[in-house]
Amino acid sequence: MSLVSCLLFLSSCGNQEKSKRNAASLTHPQKNNYASYFKIFKEENFSALVTYINTQKTDSVVYILYKGEKPELSSNAYYIKTPVSSVASLASVFVGALHNLQCLNYITAVDNADYICNPLIKQKCANNTIQQLSKTGALNIEQTLVCKPDIILANPSGEPKKDFDARLLKAGITPVICADYYENSSLARAEWAKAFALFFNKEQVADSLFSSIEKNYLQLKTLTDTCTHKPTVFSEIKIGDVWFVPSAKSNMAQLFKDAGADYIFSDNDKTGSLSLNLEQVINKAINADYWLNLHHCNSAEDVIKLDKRYDVFNAYKKRNLYNNNALINEAGGNAYWEYGLNHSDELLADLIKIFHSNLLPNHTLKYYKQLK
């Protein structure tokens, strides 16, 4: 690796918060295997985490993580002493990630206990030892200031000024904005464990955890490499008049492909999701073999209750309906989002079982269930 220092000029837009995201003198980048929305730099006395906070990767944030003395750098990044003592998690996927890293005890606040499945966190929420900062959807700033976590793990809102609230920064609370859901492969999402681990000095745990997930995933993928029959699949349900389906370069499309299925909407080069209407979906997916990810439905009857016209789909007629809500709590919190997204190998195993049950005869579906 080159020892020449590189100067990263990251985007700037003028205000005080953004100027903190301007520049950092960093060397020794660590290569990610899949993830592209964060970068880690391992320096002699500190580590640096760079997270991109928009889809185009034109805006980013630099976090300098140090164990001993605060490093003297010319950069104007966010400085965080590790291990942090307390964390607020504003999405259930972060709770799952910290669970995998054995760092649940660091969590002192969550967004809303209803969305969380972890029994320990739920119990602590019930006892008020873990605060709920976003019960109504918007972050309660006053409650957050009283709770005073060292860092807040959150997804980007699209408004950096809101993400990096001046009042929180003034109180010494650093928002760590993680755009893990922009990643276009589920292994990339799982690799984010490496980024989270930096805040708790658990890099080795993260490395070994990710290596294990990656190894399992690739082994499972080889099972479907030789499949000659690839069943066709589509997913989601229309919301209002719009049917948001995963695009060809989304992590869901990648999972379908790796599980040996032929994804109906793979003839495009878009990331994220496509906005279609019922006509377009009927036209392409009417004869598809499988229909997955049917939101809150628990039975075929629930599906038809949403729209009677869903009965025209071949997948519905054959009851090849599989939803990712097998592990759900009474308030609607879904383990798929909490643990599944951090364990892409388990998700792939479920999908292979659905599409090619003979390949994994002993596997029992974990996150998915058939809607009958």
Partner 1 sequence: MSFTKRYSILIISLIGLFLLDITSGTIFIPLNKIWNCFTNHAQVVESIIVLGFRLPKAIAAICAGSALAVAGMLMQTFFKNPLAGPYVLGVNSVSSLSVALFMLGGGTGNSFFHSLGLPLASSLGALAGLMLIMFIAKKIHNQTHILLIGMMIGFIAGAWQSVLEYLSNAQHLKNFVIWNMASLSNVMDTDLLILFSVIVICFAVCLFLIKPLNALLLGDEQASLLGINISVIKNCVLVLTALLSGVVTAYCGPIGFVGLALPHLVRIIFKTTHHLHQLFGNILMGACFLLLCDVISNLPLFEITLPINIITSLFGAPFVLWLIFKNKNAIS
Q: Which positions touch partner 1 (CB under 8 A)?
A: 114, 136-137, 239-242, 275-280, 282-283, 286, 296, 304-309, 312, 331-332
User: How many angstroms separate the CA atoms of 26 and 194, rounded?
Assistant: 18
Give me the least distance between CB of 314 and partner 1, in Å please. Answer: 11
Give me the least distance between CB of 219 and partner 1, in Å please. Answer: 36
Nearer to partner 1 among residue 225 and residue 241 (C-beta) = 241
Nearer to partner 1 among residue 86 and residue 143 (C-beta) = 143
Nearer to partner 1 among residue 7 and residue 242 (C-beta) = 242
Nearer to partner 1 among residue 69 and residue 241 (C-beta) = 241
Give me the least distance between CB of 268 and partner 1, in Å please. Answer: 12
Nearer to partner 1 among residue 146 and residue 312 (C-beta) = 312
Nearer to partner 1 among residue 67 and residue 305 (C-beta) = 305
User: How many angstroms separate the CA atoms of 19 and 289, rounded?
Assistant: 52
> What contacts 24+ positions apart, CB below 8 Å, involve 359-367?
359/223, 359/224, 359/227, 359/260, 360/220, 360/223, 365/322, 365/326, 366/326, 366/327, 366/340, 367/324, 367/326, 367/327, 367/335, 367/336, 367/339, 367/340
Give me the least distance between CB of 54 and partner 1, in Å please. Answer: 23
DSSP-derived 3-state class of residue 215: helix
User: How many angstroms separate the CA atoms of 298 and 237, rounded?
Assistant: 13
Nearer to partner 1 among residue 166 and residue 239 (C-beta) = 239
Cα separations in angstroms, 232 against 155, 176, 184, 194, 228: 32, 39, 20, 34, 13
User: How many angstroms separate the CA atoms of 365 and 348, rounded?
Assistant: 10
Give me the least distance between CB of 242 and partner 1, in Å please. Answer: 6
Give me the least distance between CB of 115 and partner 1, in Å please. Answer: 8
Give me the least distance between CB of 273 and partner 1, in Å please. Answer: 12
Number of helical (H) and strand (E) elements in the chain, helices listed first: 15, 19
Report the 10 Å Cβ neighbour count for 251.
23
For residue 8, the surrounding DSSP H or E stretch is: strand 6-9
The answer to whether the CB of 319 falls within 8 A of the CB of 300 is yes
The answer to whether the CB of 179 falls within 8 A of the CB of 162 is no
